[in-house]
Amino acid sequence: MSSYRISLIRGDGIGPEVVGACENVLLHASSLAGVSLKIVEVEAGDGCLEKRGEALPQVSIDIITGSDACLKGPVGRSAASVIVRLRQELELYANVRPARCLPGVPALDRAADFVIVRENTEDLYRGMEMEFDGGVLAFRPITKRASERIARFAFNMSSSRSLGKRVVCVHKNNVLKKSDGLFLSSFYGVAQDFPGIAADDMLVDSAAMNIVRKPSQFDVIVTTNLYGDILSDEAAQVVGGLGLAPSANIGERYAIFEPVHGSAPDIAGTGRANPTATMLTAAMMLEWLASTRGDGACWKAANLMRGGVDAALSSGARTRDLGGNMSTADFAADVIGKIT
């Protein structure tokens, strides 16, 4: 039986509820598939800040880097001190956000099935702001190295998918001629190495419109940090809502998996949160373990998790955000019952 250490950040707000529900499904599917997971708790976020005076202590980073993969719930007000810092310190340069329709869940276009690949280490998210003559200056670093690296990741992602074989680079180079100009020229440079994949580009405003107008035209979208953050929430809504949207932060050595949604303080503690996004996130983690370790049992566990979620939704299981009345825990129990 293969065995992995999974570091687990429960997070804030609805985090502990959706992560707890997901953990039960993850352990069930993994043990059926012959994968043994040792869960190691990691303190991070608002609760940790209150208790320890810092949102991400070094000991937490050490546990994450000592594990095989990290599963993370949403963090509240201290998100920038936790995930933005982890993305930069661990060089988790690719943020992968798939947008795929799920059985029976209303979506704007059921043919939509695409992935947003967002550069995760640069752009305005470096947080370099300074006061300037009564105003504020915000720096937006964009480098050739990071732009080429994320473009290559996006082309590889497209070649691993069965659909489309098209990568669209989203930018605003008509205004941001130097920064987005460099991102775009790096993209077309890398495209030369992938002659079997169509390379195209689109202005970010046009992309925002096209994701709603005709999402099925997209296979892989590659873009900078801020545009990717905004467009991926839009994409999540196109295929059914934030409660369903998974994501991964991937680097050369480490990877952290988290739902796209935030800590949703408006419904925290009510049992109304949809844990599907976190479950699909855990399935992405198993797939990443499968492909990086060449472990077929992890593929099996990932497929069991996805199959369980699909079967639960197909049979009409719904949390409140999808018009049903199931609690977070009841939905998880339903998914577990479908995994045999």
The candidate with the shortest Cα–Cα distance to 256, out of 82, 116, 69, 76, is: 69
- Is 201 considered catalytic here? no
| Active-site choice (172, 201, 295, 334) | 172
CA distance 162 to 155: 13
Place of tokens 């609690």: 327
| Active-site choice (46, 201, 219, 229) | 229
Between 8 and 264, name the residue whose CB sits nearer to ligand ATP: 264
The candidate with the shortest Cα–Cα distance to 17, out of 250, 337, 229, 320, is: 320
User: Least distance in Å: CB of 284 to ligand ATP?
Assistant: 16
- Is 330 considered catalytic here? no
User: Least distance in Å: CB of 233 to ligand ATP?
Assistant: 8
- Is 125 considered catalytic here? yes
CB-based burial label for 65 (10 Å; 0-12, 13-18, 19+): middle
Q: Which residues bind ligand ATP (CB under 6 A)?
A: 14, 18, 74, 76, 242-243, 261-267, 273-274, 277, 321
- Is 205 considered catalytic here? yes
Complete DSSP assignment for 41-63: EE--SHHHHHHHS-SS-HHHHHH
| Active-site choice (109, 233, 310, 330) | 233
The candidate with the shortest Cα–Cα distance to 182, out of 150, 142, 137, is: 142
User: Least distance in Å: CB of 158 to ligand ATP?
Assistant: 28
The candidate with the shortest Cα–Cα distance to 170, out of 138, 137, 217, is: 217
User: Least distance in Å: CB of 30 to ligand ATP?
Assistant: 22
Nearest residue (beta carbon) to ligand ATP = 262
- List, in sequence order, every residue forming a beta bridge with 70; answer none if it has no partner: 7, 256
Between 76 and 215, name the residue whose CB sits nearer to ligand ATP: 76
User: Least distance in Å: CB of 239 to ligand ATP?
Assistant: 14
Between 49 and 264, name the residue whose CB sits nearer to ligand ATP: 264
Q: How far is CA 223 from the centre of its chain?
A: 14
| Active-site choice (93, 125, 227, 254) | 125
The candidate with the shortest Cα–Cα distance to 262, out of 18, 71, 7, 8, is: 18
The set of catalytic residues is 125, 172, 205, 229, 233
